[in-house]
Amino acid sequence: MLLGGIADDLTGAVELAGMLAAGGMRVALVLDDAPIPSGQDAVVVALPSRVAPVAEARDGFARAADALLGAGARMLFFKYCATFDSTPQGNIGPCADLLMERTGAPFTLFAPSFPEAERRVFMGHLFVGAQLVSNSPKRFDPLTPMTEPDLVKVLAAQTARRVGLLPLPVVAQGEAAVARHASTLREAGLSYAIADAATEEDLATLARASWDWPLATGGSNLAAHYPPIWREKGLLAPAAALPPARAGGHGAVLAGSCSDRTREQVAHFAGHHPVLRIDLARLETPAAALREAAGWALPRLERGPVCITTAGDPQAVAAAQARLGREGAARAAEELLGGLARALVAAGARRLLVAGGETSGAVIRALGIARLTVAPYVSPGIGLCAAEAPEPLALCLESGKLGPVDMFGTVLERMRA
């Protein structure tokens, strides 16, 4: 196994697995403590660790790292969000620290850049399009508001290890310069560097400098550059890419992301299909809300796809959090959408699109799915995959902040058998 991936949310795991599959690797994705399958070039473990308490996140990483290393992984890859989603407590720093201990790596880099999705790092500062992340809508994220753009500071607040910078002028000089800069930082007692990257070429340079390290970390876009290098080194044989999953049966969207993009997608879908908006600030009891939402959705399924969403604008999120607390609001939304997923599948839905990383994790776990087959990556936000058990399902697990405005309807249609 060339790469053992650990992703801190499910949409990130699907994106990573999809990019490796697009690079011609045989890839499996498992959730949590599900067994690591054999005969794969890469296995990605999806954990719900992004906003878990630090000790819980580290325990999950320890079990995943031991399982992947035990199965023979040459390199571990820690996949986090391209917008470096985390809080001052973690969990990027604490989980990276754990992986450094487990792999014995003396040094690693952090490369969240994802140019195709307009996420770029320059002088350690993270940009979303032309805005610093702290000026972008990410500052309103319900769980991981990003208010500090300097990732050296963000990471340093989460770890006792020393953090430096691998600046773009060095990356632009190529892999040998990157390797020299990394050695200089390591000899000066630093363990980590935030790596600048603005283009695919920059990421390819970082990949060429790190392809044989025991541990690398970043967005999925860094990992996408490893397969051609491994092939060139004679380590990777070509594999047949799997087609995207299709299924008969009804289609439905469950949207728990509160991002601007998801709310635009919901509004677009509402122009053509029924949408139920649930206001968490007015929720009576979760059980009553679930009954009511299922009563609304199930009779409509026969006539075409439906969407159920808890998404609100920043004011609605603030109102829900004032009433239920930050975690309480998230838990309520996730339990509700997870319960609805079970009801929809029991009523014959076989094509599901879920918007939001945490939301996707909650829905897939509520459905009792432990393993996914991931289709090759197509474009940002569109995570096509399939589950065989407990029901054969075609799924699109969408990163909440990405993907075209009309994708709910078009992707569900493309998933039809």
Ligand X SMILES: O=C(O)[C@@H](O)C(=O)COP(=O)(O)O
Binding site for ligand X (CB under 6 A): 9, 11-12, 15, 81-82, 114, 219-220, 356-357, 399-401
Task: Indicate the residue among 158 and 220 with the shorter CB distance to ligand X.
Answer: 220
Backbone φ, ψ for residue 241 (5° rounding): -75, 140
DSSP structure string for 148-179: --BHHHHHHTT-SS-EEEE-HHHHTT-HHHHH
Give just the sign of the alpha carbon dihedral 336, 338, 340, 342: negative
Q: Which of 166, 333, 341, 411 binds ligand ADP (CB under 6 A)?
A: 333
Q: Check residue 399 for interaction with ligand ADP (CB under 6 A).
A: yes
Quick check: helix, strand or coil at residue 127?
A: strand
* Radius of gyration in angstroms for the set of CA atoms belonging to the chain, rounded to a whole number: 21
Q: Closest approach of Cβ 117 to ligand X, in Å? A: 6
Q: Which two tokens stand for residue 314?
A: 């920043």
Task: Indicate the residue among 46 and 301 with the shorter CB distance to ligand X.
Answer: 46
Task: Indicate the residue among 82 and 294 with the shorter CB distance to ligand X.
Answer: 82
Q: Closest approach of Cβ 359 to ligand X, in Å? A: 8
Q: Closest approach of Cβ 129 to ligand X, in Å? A: 13
Chain-centroid distance of CA 223 in Å reads 13
Quick check: helix, strand or coil at residue 328?
A: helix
Task: Indicate the residue among 3 and 308 with the shorter CB distance to ligand ADP.
Answer: 308
Task: Indicate the residue among 195 and 301 with the shorter CB distance to ligand X.
Answer: 195
Q: 20: which strand partners?
A: none
Q: Check residue 310 for interaction with ligand ADP (CB under 6 A).
A: yes
Q: Closest approach of Cβ 401 to ligand X, in Å? A: 5
Number of chain positions touching ligand ADP (CB under 6 A): 26
The residue range among 34-42, 97-105, 137-145, 169-177 that interacts with ligand ADP, by the rule CB under 6 A, is 137-145
Asked whether 226 and 142 are in contact (CB, 8 A), the reply is: no
Q: Check residue 205 for interaction with ligand ADP (CB under 6 A).
A: no
Asked whether 411 and 378 are in contact (CB, 8 A), the reply is: no
Asked whether 191 and 107 are in contact (CB, 8 A), the reply is: yes
Q: Check residue 13 for interaction with ligand ADP (CB under 6 A).
A: no
Task: Indicate the residue among 5 and 312 with the shorter CB distance to ligand ADP.
Answer: 312
Residue 82 binding target from ligand X, ligand ADP, none, CB below 5 to 8 Å by type: ligand X
Interacting residues with ligand ADP between 241 and 300 (CB under 6 A) = 256-259, 280
How far is the CA of 189 from the CAs of 104, 106, 172, 182, 374, in angstroms? 15, 10, 24, 11, 40
Task: Indicate the residue among 73 and 143 with the shorter CB distance to ligand ADP.
Answer: 143
Distance CA 40, CA 22 (A): 14
Q: Closest approach of Cβ 136 to ligand ADP, in Å? A: 13
Residue number closest to ligand X, CB atom: 357
Backbone φ, ψ for residue 267 (5° rounding): -60, -40
Please report which helix (H) or strand (E) contains residue 323, including its range. Answer: helix 314-324
Backbone φ, ψ for residue 106 (5° rounding): -85, -15
Task: Indicate the residue among 205 and 321 with the shorter CB distance to ligand ADP.
Answer: 321
**Where does this chain bind ligand ADP (CB under 6 A)?**
141-143, 256-259, 280, 310-312, 316-317, 320-321, 329-330, 333-334, 356-359, 399-401
